[in-house]
Amino acid sequence: MERVLSYSILEIKKKKFMRDLFTSLIAFTAYAVLVYLVSFNLAKTGDLQDIPRNFLMLIPYLILVLSSYSLNQEFSNHTDKVIFTGVFTRSEVLASKLLSLIFTSLISFLFYEVLEVITGSFEVKLIIPHLLTFIIYSFVISSFILMVSTMTSNFIVTGVIGYVLYFDLILALFSNALESTNSELMRKVIPELPFYIANTGFVRGSYSLHQGLVMLMWGLLFFVISCVIINKKAI
């Protein structure tokens, strides 16, 4: 575990990693404020609480992009042979990248809570639910994206697959299926899929205990599959 933490700290300390993370979060904050100002001045419907809400809506895209880039950069830069044949095992490298991605969610969480404090929507009792939601979401999405990355070794393909399976299109399909299907099996299976649970719970700001456990089990499965694939991959 100490080796994994050491490597993840090296990942986090990369100047590009931190620069991209904070640049994105500052840009998201500016966007959320701009949307509020436009709504307030033009439609007279703006609410200060819309600022953290709009900021939150953008975080899944940040996690998707950073997760897709994390491992695929090694393949595109041809540094995969270096990191996967060095002193760290391949599984340790994947675990360290996963930890560094979870770290991005913690920084995002801090930005979100600061915005809630500034806009007067902060509630102490929601800190832990929000924190757990950020961690669970980033763990599952990052594990899935790492799994896809080990298969494709391509940033764009990985990003497209992640977007299709976790964002608007799949949510619309699942929602329509739940409303129109008469199949009890479908009604039971769909709510247990991470592709359905992930963003619906994240945008709401919390997962139920059952949803949280289901998400963690899926995330663990994705990560184990990632380790199996990368250890068998010819590099």
Average pLDDT over residues 148-160: 92
Average pLDDT over residues 133-149: 95
Reduced 3-state DSSP string for the chain: CHHHHHHHHHHHHCHHHHHHHHHHHHHHHHHHHHHHHHHHHHHCCCCCCHHHHHHHHHHHHHHHHHHHHHHHHHHHCCCHHHHHCCCCCHHHHHHHHHHHHHHHHHHHHHHHHHHHHHHCCCCHHHHHHHHHHHHHHHHHHHHHHHHHHHHHCCHHHHHHHHHHHHCHHHHHHHHHHHHHCCCHHHHHHHHHCHHHHHHHHHHHCCCCHHHHHHHHHHHHHHHHHHHHHHHHCCC
pLDDT: is 1 or 189 the higher one?
Answer: 189
Is residue 68 pLDDT above 70, yes or no? Answer: yes
When the pLDDT of each residue in the chain is averaged and rounded to a whole number, the result is: 88
Distance CA 27, CA 167 (A): 21
The predicted pLDDT at position 44 comes to: 66
The predicted pLDDT at position 88 comes to: 80
Output phi, psi for 14, to 5 deg: -60, 130
Is residue 198 pLDDT above 80, yes or no? Answer: yes
Instruction: Determine contact, residues 96/4, Cβ cutoff 8 Å.
Output: yes
CA distance readout (Å), 55 to 32, 119, 133, 137: 5, 12, 15, 16
Reduced 3-state DSSP string for 146-174: HHHHHHHCCHHHHHHHHHHHHCHHHHHHH
pLDDT-derived band at 170 (thresholds 50, 70, 90) equals: confident
The predicted pLDDT at position 183 comes to: 76
Q: CA-based diameter of the chain, in Å?
A: 59
**Percent of all residues in the chain with a pLDDT value above 70, rounded to a whole number:** 97
The predicted pLDDT at position 45 comes to: 67
pTM, 2 dp: 0.90
Instruction: Determine contact, residues 162/137, Cβ cutoff 8 Å.
Output: no
Number of domains observed in the structure of the chain: 1
pLDDT-derived band at 12 (thresholds 50, 70, 90) equals: confident
The predicted pLDDT at position 43 comes to: 66
Distance CA 232, CA 230 (A): 5
Tokens of 123: 């509630």
Amino acid identity of 20?
Answer: D
Is residue 124 pLDDT above 70, yes or no? Answer: yes
Domain of residue 53: give its range: 2-232
The predicted pLDDT at position 109 comes to: 96
Amino acid identity of 107?
Answer: I
